Structure 1
Amino acid sequence: MASFCINETWTNRQVCELLERAGLEQTRFEEGGIDGKQALKLKHEDLTRMGITDRKKNLEYLNVIKNQPKVFNDPIHGSIELHPVLVKIIDTPQFQRLWNIKQLGGSYYVYPGACHSRFEHSIGVAHLAGELGKSLKNKQSTIISDRDILCVQIAGLCHDLGHGPFSHLFDELILRGEIRHEKISIQMFDYLVEENGLRPLMKLYDLRRRDRTFIKEMIHPPRREEGEEATANEWPYEGRPKEKSFLYEIVSNKTSGVDVDKFDYFARDCHYLGLRNNFDHQRFMLFARVCKEAGNRKTHICIREKEVNSLYTMYQTRYYLHKRACQHKVKYGIDLMIKDALDAANGTRIGGLGRTLNEVKRDIQNNQMASFTQLTDFVFQQILDSANGELANAKRILRRINSRDLYKCVFEREVQGGIRVEQRHIDNLKQRLIEFSGNILTETNFEVVKVTIDYGMGHENPVNNMYYYTKQDPDTAIRNSGQQIPHLIPEAFSETVVRVYYKETDLLNPQSIIIPFDAWHQRVRQQQA
């Protein structure tokens, strides 16, 4: 993609042509005879003196005039250079807030090294999206353009803009499944572009309305309304045609789960947790090709058939990462405490935020993103520092975290026999425990939780959803034929564990939980037999 970065040798005519390409009025620059050297020194106040007083219009000019690539030194991927559009997105308040959202939420309280944020992860995903795109372009130059690669990188950079405090905790507690963080990410992307005057810069690099649609579709794929049936030839995307369907598999792969988002967080999370990452994403990129389905216009990112073992290594890495860190029983107990604290603070206005968490949720639903931009993990400290008496209970819980007076996991048992445990089953077990205790236990002083750890697709083997190519036919996408499956694979691809946490004190001997649990387990198994 052509570069449109001003340098000091540019003439006034070249500067004006650049502004014209971006759709900006250049009369004041012509009259002032501003050349490249002068343009690079311009600041907000200089443009204001020139008569460009509107804040957003001022930003539009500066974004176009001072667009430059930038080199980032990343601890995982080394020195990486990012496109000027990516740099300008990074330098916005909406993106900078990701500094203050920890990638692994409460894991920091168990693994002190897990202090990395969504900020560096997002930059890493943008980098890997570009690397995979360039690798595919080098092998098959006719199927992917530089503009495609830039769009994929922007989607990788912005895919986590919608995360709230402590990442997924905000989704579960405040949003309660009513809004997905991916949808909030595309709302934040639109808000970021408009609020920071990035449209002219995007136009400068030939990113049109269709490209912005494509970026948002990669972050949050469109879904049909309930009851709406798909036609045989339906293609749900507007940004790119079916022939370029493989592009939708780079950042967030809904088919097999193999995407650069996982590549980065496997490497990054393992690094900061002190765990070993056995998956080599660079090898995957070397063997990746774009192939076409037989008898269909759809294309997929395919891996050489012999590389199936590498895919199992990837999914096993995901499993162990979740088992040892993300779903660690102490970390999960801390997550419950943060949930309870935020729940207790839900209806109270918090510190500098000036809004309740419920009001922020309503703002999101009304596509008003200013308050969400201010909401980060710092809400923890805002609650602790507040003098508002209505936050007393929330403060008490958070102080317990700081003094390591944590909720205690007193019982943990794996659910056997492939039982599907739903929330109603958990509620039923909780009631059984209350009754068995003779009402010593109450709903407020203990918690029963279901923790599921899998390969990313529930009980399914995700490797079966991957597309492959063979050495003999490197251009045709084939499904798992069964021939390439190694013998040493798991019999099951998901496990469910039930845990009981005491919130205050050890009210009952943990051994006393076994009898009602076994009876509950037997009954659920019989119901599903």
Structure 2
Amino acid sequence: MAHMVYPGAVHSRFEHSLGVYWLAGQAVHKLKTQGLELGIDRFDVQTVKLAGLLHDIGHGPFSHLFEREFLPQVLNGYKWSHEQMSVKMVDHIVDKHHIEIDSEAIRRVKEMILASSEFASPKSTREKHFLYDIVANGRNGIDVDKFDYIIRDCRACGLGCNFQFQRLMETMRVIGDEICYRAKEYLTIHKLFATRADLYRTVYTHPKVKAIEIMIVDALLKANDYLDIASHVQDPSQYWKLDDTILKTIEIAPDQELREARDLILRVRRRDLYQFCNEYTVPKDTVENFKDVTAQDIVCSQKTSGVILREEDVAICNVRIDLTRGRLNPLESINFFKDYDSEEKFSIPDDRISHLLPTSYQDMIVRVYSKKPELVGAISEAFENFQLKTYGIKPQVHATPEKKKRRM
């Protein structure tokens, strides 16, 4: 298995779905070999694989950016999730194309898609609960969805990856209706979460990446009233038409109402990005009570400058990086077994794990950007003032370069 190539190796949302479909099938077949006592049948295999194929079908343009950054600003408190939309899309596809499929299979697939979300069905109503932890694991975060995108993105970005999901799939067992892992693999599991956190730090939330994301969100917000983008999320028959090509639609449209959105997209194309001013990591002892920093916080911290800052000149990015369970250690929510002759499962507390592993499981990073290059100096100064006012120190490691401050 060490040299296998699976469909998720090519980085696109479609190929990711194929990769998860393939891995889900491998996982459920591996559990099936454990014995007849689990009662895994052909119906179970089909539903798990279908959940893997369809679990992300509800994603909008640019996936999580659309859900977490754009929609909260236009839906006025209405709760929306791509998992719920995936469920609606499944129903729409079945009805629209008159697909003959067992209603119980569809119910099970939809429950598996929602398994890691706040809309998951009560555990007491699920049969073979362990099957719901294969695609989207709300119990402890170990699932084939992560296996696929972590390996895919490490390869696509030229990063080394020392996490071997094959070891976990080869050694996992079901004990007490729960997927458990051999105790000696706890470091392999830690590498899964640590590699994911490293991808978030170095790729997904890279300062340049976030600058582009902020600009894309601003472009969508400026185009929303005219194109009525947000209304698509209520209707599956319209939602499926909404994908990444929305940027090209805005870019080539001649309408005057879209001029500001077009200009922003053109800036992205030309790499004329919002200027990253600086960042700081929130001190560990204050993370628990941290509240998101806003543009207003920075503007109100301005003391003396030749310009007057406005909130619309400042972009703030509050970046949370964790090991999937916020400030908690994910290993504590996982059960292990000693060897294959044992039927006892147990957790491994912090004090029995290597002291070289971290004692803190979440970082909170605050970044500030200037939407106009000539304001970098003023915004950087206000940002430092805010830190001093909030913490009595400047948690940032480096000062904003003078050359960047003087840029006009």
User: TM-score interval w.r.t. the shorter chain?
Assistant: 0.7 to 0.9
Structure 2 unaligned regions, length at least 5:
73-77, 395-408
Residue number among 378, 388, 398 corresponding to 2:245 in the alignment? 378
Aligned residue type for 2:315: E
Matching of residues 63-462 of structure 1 within 5 Å? 78=5, 116-143=11-38, 144-176=40-72, 178-199=79-100, 202=101, 208-221=102-115, 235-236=122-123, 238=125, 240-241=126-127, 244-292=128-176, 299-349=177-227, 356-361=228-233, 364=234, 368-420=235-287, 422-423=290-291, 425-426=293-294, 429-434=297-302, 437=305, 440-462=308-330
Matching of residues 44-63 of structure 1 within 5 Å? none
Using the TM superposition, give the Cα deviation of residue 471 of structure 1 relative to its aligned residue in structure 2, in angstroms.
1.5
Q: What secondary structure sits across from 1:517 in the alignment?
A: helix
| Percent sequence identity over aligned pairs | 32
The superposition leaves residues 144-188 of structure 1 with CA deviations (integer Å, 9 ceiling, x where unpaired) of 222111101100110001100011111124431720110001000
Contact kept in structure 1, 2:51 and 2:135, CA below 8 Å: yes
Partner of 1:18: none
Contact kept in structure 1, 2:318 and 2:364, CA below 8 Å: yes
Aligned mates of 2:6, 2:381 — CA distance in 1: 56
Using the TM superposition, give the Cα deviation of residue 436 of structure 1 relative to its aligned residue in structure 2, in angstroms.
5.6
Residue number among 461, 467, 473 corresponding to 2:335 in the alignment? 467
Using the TM superposition, give the Cα deviation of residue 245 of structure 1 relative to its aligned residue in structure 2, in angstroms.
1.0
CA 315–173 in structure 1, closer or farther in 2 if over 3 Å, else same: closer
Contact kept in structure 2, 1:77 and 1:124, CA below 8 Å: no
Contact kept in structure 2, 1:409 and 1:501, CA below 8 Å: yes
Partner of 2:386: 517
Partner of 1:478: 346
Q: What secondary structure sits across from 2:357 in the alignment?
A: coil
Q: What secondary structure sits across from 1:447 in the alignment?
A: strand
Q: Given the two structures, how large is their TM-score scaled by the length of structure 1?
A: 0.68
Aligned residue type for 1:140: G
Aligned residue type for 1:279: F
Q: What secondary structure sits across from 2:312 in the alignment?
A: coil
Structure 1 unaligned regions, length at least 5:
1-75, 81-102, 104-113, 203-207, 226-233, 293-298, 350-355
Aligned mates of 1:126, 1:223 — CA distance in 2: 19
Contact kept in structure 1, 2:275 and 2:369, CA below 8 Å: yes
Using the TM superposition, give the Cα deviation of residue 438 of structure 1 relative to its aligned residue in structure 2, in angstroms.
7.2
CA 254–427 in structure 1, closer or farther in 2 if over 3 Å, else same: same
Computed over aligned residues only, the root mean square deviation of the Cα atoms, in angstroms, reads 2.6
CA 79–471 in structure 1, closer or farther in 2 if over 3 Å, else same: closer
Q: Given the two structures, how large is their TM-score scaled by the length of structure 2?
A: 0.87
Aligned mates of 2:12, 2:117 — CA distance in 1: 29
Aligned mates of 1:248, 1:477 — CA distance in 2: 19
Q: What secondary structure sits across from 1:142 in the alignment?
A: helix
Q: What secondary structure sits across from 1:317 in the alignment?
A: helix
Q: What secondary structure sits across from 2:273 in the alignment?
A: coil
CA 426–524 in structure 1, closer or farther in 2 if over 3 Å, else same: farther
Contact kept in structure 2, 1:279 and 1:317, CA below 8 Å: yes
Contact kept in structure 2, 1:222 and 1:237, CA below 8 Å: no
Partner of 1:295: none
Using the TM superposition, give the Cα deviation of residue 487 of structure 1 relative to its aligned residue in structure 2, in angstroms.
2.3
CA 385–285 in structure 1, closer or farther in 2 if over 3 Å, else same: same
Q: What secondary structure sits across from 1:346 in the alignment?
A: helix
Partner of 1:504: 372
CA 308–180 in structure 1, closer or farther in 2 if over 3 Å, else same: same
Contact kept in structure 2, 1:432 and 1:516, CA below 8 Å: no
Contact kept in structure 2, 1:436 and 1:516, CA below 8 Å: no
Matching of residues 34-45 of structure 1 within 5 Å? none
Q: What secondary structure sits across from 1:376 in the alignment?
A: coil
Using the TM superposition, give the Cα deviation of residue 275 of structure 1 relative to its aligned residue in structure 2, in angstroms.
1.2
Q: What secondary structure sits across from 2:375 in the alignment?
A: coil
Contact kept in structure 2, 1:411 and 1:513, CA below 8 Å: no
Aligned mates of 2:81, 2:364 — CA distance in 1: 23
Q: What secondary structure sits across from 1:139 in the alignment?
A: coil
Aligned mates of 2:194, 2:6 — CA distance in 1: 29
Aligned residue type for 1:371: Q
Aligned residue type for 1:209: S
Using the TM superposition, give the Cα deviation of residue 222 of structure 1 relative to its aligned residue in structure 2, in angstroms.
9.2
Contact kept in structure 2, 1:345 and 1:394, CA below 8 Å: yes
Aligned residue type for 2:211: G
Contact kept in structure 1, 2:368 and 2:383, CA below 8 Å: no
Aligned mates of 2:169, 2:19 — CA distance in 1: 15
Partner of 2:399: none
Tell me which structure has the larger Cα radius of gyration.
Answer: 1
Aligned mates of 2:366, 2:236 — CA distance in 1: 37
Contact kept in structure 2, 1:304 and 1:470, CA below 8 Å: yes
